[in-house]
Amino acid sequence: MTHQAKTCIERPRKIGAKFSGRNFGRDEVISEVAQGYAAKRDRWNGYDPNQYKSDVIEQWNKINDAKNEQKDL
């Protein structure tokens, strides 16, 4: 486990997986990538501007188009 129970931001389950017999799956995925000092501290490491464009900008364009259609009516 990567954190302690007192620092966990999610509330604890009433009955844990150990006692309930259910498999809740993994809570966290840890991936270790060999990077240098600067790369580990780079704020924009892993940032993909194309994904931002597809997620945020296209959503705002749809909202603005809908607003413009309502204004025309």
Higher pLDDT, residue 12 or 68: 68
Range of the domain at 32: 5-72
Q: How many domains is the chain built from?
A: 1
- Selection from 57, 37, 58, 39 nearest residue 47 by Cα: 39
Q: Could you give the 3-state DSSP secondary structure of residue 69?
A: helix
Q: What is the pLDDT of residue 63?
A: 94
Q: What is the pLDDT of residue 21?
A: 73
Taking only the tens place, the pLDDT of each residue in 30-65 is 777 788 899 888 888 888 888 888 888 889 999 999
For residue 19, what pLDDT band results from cuts at 50, 70 and 90?
confident
Give the DSSP per-residue string, 24-55: ---S---------HHHHT-TTTT--HHHHIII
Amino acid at 7: T
